[in-house]
Amino acid sequence: MKELGELINYYNYLNDNKIELFNSFHKLKNDRELKFSVLFDSVGDDTFDLIVSEIDKIALNLNQISDKVGELIKDGNLNPIKSWLEFYGERLDASISYCEYLNKELENLINK
């Protein structure tokens, strides 16, 4: 039972990081400078829509993974929980890296 408690703690930790990532996505989607750049066509019309679409896909995917892990935790079978938590952590790390990349690239585009 102790191991399940530790897995639940890790799951909660990942969910906290997912919330922080989603806050970063929200900030990115509402970036005033980016919107002005799109408005004045210095970035390109499709860029903003593409970014928002990608962010929405990532958010949906992370929510689906988180929901799956939550269901597995309710079942209490440790082996699939461990595998899904590892997958969740990897996807979350990749999404955080992607968000950082987007921020840098957009900053470069805006400052051209």
d(CA 35, CA 87): 34
Residue 44 has a pLDDT of 56
Residue 36 has a pLDDT of 66
pTM of the full structure: 0.84
Residue 99 has a pLDDT of 92
> What backbone phi and psi angles, to 5 degrees, belong to 41?
65, 25
The low-confidence residues of the chain, meaning pLDDT below 70, are 1, 33-45, 110, 112
d(CA 77, CA 22): 29
Domain ranges of the chain: 2-110
Residues 6+ apart with CB under 8 A from 31: 106
d(CA 52, CA 45): 12
Residue 108 has a pLDDT of 77
